[in-house]
Structure 1
Amino acid sequence: MKRQKFSPEFREETAKLVVEGNRSIAAIAREHGLNETTVGNWVKKYREEHAGEEEPPLELSERARLRELERENRDLMLENAFLKKAAAYFAKEQR
């Protein structure tokens, strides 16, 4: 499969939709037909490049809460993937 190339301007504008528009990475990725990981990487890079300009650095408690939420999100995503596989398995067995 051929990798698609995106201009730096497109990457930045997409990341700005998440950061400045307070919209989720998943929603923006869906709207533009992009992979969530790709958009997430663009957002991370955008935030690193614009760290001092728009957002104040996170407090220690905010960073801890962010890590907690990221861990919870990972756990829920794994659980969701497992449940989808289980549902597909049982649906296939009932045919």
Structure 2
Amino acid sequence: MAKTRAPYADAFRQQMIDLVHAGRTPEDLAKEFEPTAQTIYNWVAQADRDAGKRHDGLSTAERQELTRLRRELRQVKMERDILAKAAAWFARETGTVPDKGSNS
């Protein structure tokens, strides 16, 4: 099983982004610090999206909203399924709909 580590602190990420913007390469920073060069490239790209410099993906705020909306949709679907099952149960109990197993 792969080992996971705690996310890097926001201040550390910002420091890496600032160093890249100051002229350091992600490869040099990866040798000096723990994150990989690709991770640093990803942080810089996301910071540029958040600042409006790039338009090839979602900003952090958009990504958070998408996550919230997906969670909300999952909850609404679950509630809908529960209500549909409850409605079917009440219909069978009141005799307005025959049981699924009946031969009629």
TM-score, scaled to structure 1: 0.47
- Structure number with the bigger relative contact order (C-alpha 8 A, sep ≥ 6) is 1
TM-score, scaled to structure 2: 0.43
Choose 1 or 2 for highest CA Rg: 2
